[in-house]
Amino acid sequence: MENGWATFGADLHLELRGPKLRTGLMDALREAIRSGRLEAGVRLPSSRSLAADLGVARNTVADAYAELVAEGWLTARQGSGTRVARRAAPRPAAGPGTRPAPARPVTSRPTYDLKPGVPDLASFPRAEWLKASRRALTAAPHEAFGYGDPRGRIELRTVLAEYLARARGVYARPERIVVCSGFVHGLMLMAQVLRAGSSATPSGPGGKAREVAVESYGLSVHRDVLTGAGLRLRPLPFDGLGTRTEELGGMADVGAVLMTAAHQFPLGGALPPDRRAAVIDWARASGGLVLEDDYDGEFRYDRQPVGALQGLDPERVVYMGTSSKSLAPGLRLAWMVLPESLVDEVAAAKGTVDWMSSALEQLTFAEFLASGAYDRHVRAMRLRYRRRRDELVAAVAAHSPDTRVSGIAAGLHAVLRLRPGTEPDVLRSAAWHGLAVLGLDRFRHPDVPRTLDGLVVGYATPPDSGWAGALRALCRVLP
């Protein structure tokens, strides 16, 4: 058929040189593989397709393929076609008078990942989520697929209010909740409101908050969000009991404080009752706001539940939660429970329409919560993570008895305290052994003196098949 070549298989650009077609074809294929243009595993066109494309006899291509298979450049398997072999391509020879190129470090994914902050993604409840999605989609009103309320779907805010009151001790009503696409998104909105000036934060000229207090150790991305909005940061000192919130009284320009009270990240402790009371007393006396990051609030193992700070004063605390640790960060679902005076300002900062959070994901999560599937999932993961934590503690005790493990009563990570000055060497050893793990110094505020050495070990991420190997790799690098 005329122009039938246009319908044959995949395209492959080759330039044949020399009078002999088979030799030219083989040379062109070798060069394409040697240079990396054709990578290992790439499927080549069939002999018929390539012959039609190049305008040569099919036997010419078939013979060239067969010889390159014999040489090891290609592989051929029934039903799989002809592919580039997985072999190391020789380095091109250096020309006369040229120096060998310096060796470049090989970058690859680590063999084991023990970085904190990520749950067990393999345990995402796909079947239950799919059921919830079908029910939500069937029941969704037509208007749910429009632009929507910037605060989020009322179905989700209603169910969230019930759940947070029951499980976290949060005083919540649907009209006080704003759904966002992650904790960082919520923090960006709050930073915008604080910098612009709010009736809820009278600190500073014109009601603007000029400074925000933060914990000595925390995520740099959160600090960057606040400073990016034009706010100055003041780190709060800490001791063996946690953040010293009583120091807030001496910070005159501070209009808000960001805290992980239920499970401090990364050090791991819960804020003691007297210090919880101190931060609320400061907020009431100064008119400041507490930005509460309820980090790992659902996962506790050896202690009674620690309720949210927000329950102590709903008008002075902004409660911020997320599904990133309990389900998966890829859902991009988070929420803020706001003081009544802040709802309109935060909604205005978010925009006139809800363009950040998928209506279908919100409706599915609402159904997932209402059906009890979320509670069941959290309880199952709590048992799973506790077993992982116990195995981690036992392995460290057996192989490195001088290493103290802390911050393990809740959450998805543990802190392994190291001797002063040893953290950099341990991290280099971990990288050498293919182990991804973070040091405490990564989370230290730049203005805080370095007094702690340690590893922040996330025990949720590795799959079951890799967990034992990850523990062995960790124990090998411990002093």
Domain residue ranges of the chain, discontinuous segments joined by + = 4-84, 112-119+376-477, 124-373
Mean pLDDT is lowest, of 18-22, 40-44, 51-55, 205-209, for 205-209
Mean pLDDT of the 85-111 span: 52
pLDDT at 304: 73
pLDDT at 93: 44
pLDDT at 208: 65
Class of domain 112-119+376-477 as given by CATH: alpha beta
Tens of pLDDT along 280-303? 999 999 999 999 999 877 888 876
| Between 150 and 106, residue with greater pLDDT | 150
Mean pLDDT of the 28-40 span: 87
pLDDT at 420: 94
DSSP per-residue string spanning 186-255: HHHHHHHHHHH-BTTB--SGGG---EEEEESB--HHHHHHHHHTT-EEEEEPEETTEE-GGGGGG-TTEE
Mean pLDDT is lowest, of 30-34, 95-99, 329-333, for 95-99
On the question of a common fold for 4-84 and 112-119+376-477, the answer reads no
pLDDT band at 110 (very low <50, low <70, confident <90, very high): confident
C-beta of residue 177 within 8 angstroms of C-beta of residue 264: no
Residue 199: CB atoms within 10 A of its CB come to: 12
Q: Assign domain 124-373 to its CATH architecture.
A: 3-Layer(aba) Sandwich (3.40)
Tens of pLDDT along 344-375? 999 999 987 767 789 999 999 999 999 999 99
pLDDT at 444: 96
Of 150, 12, 34, which Cα lies nearest the Cα of 87? 34
pLDDT at 419: 94
Q: Assign domain 4-84 to its CATH architecture.
A: Orthogonal Bundle (1.10)
CA distance 421 to 452: 9
Residues 6+ apart with CB under 8 A from 166: none
Tens of pLDDT along 257-285? 999 999 899 998 899 999 999 999 999 99
What is this structure's pTM? 0.76
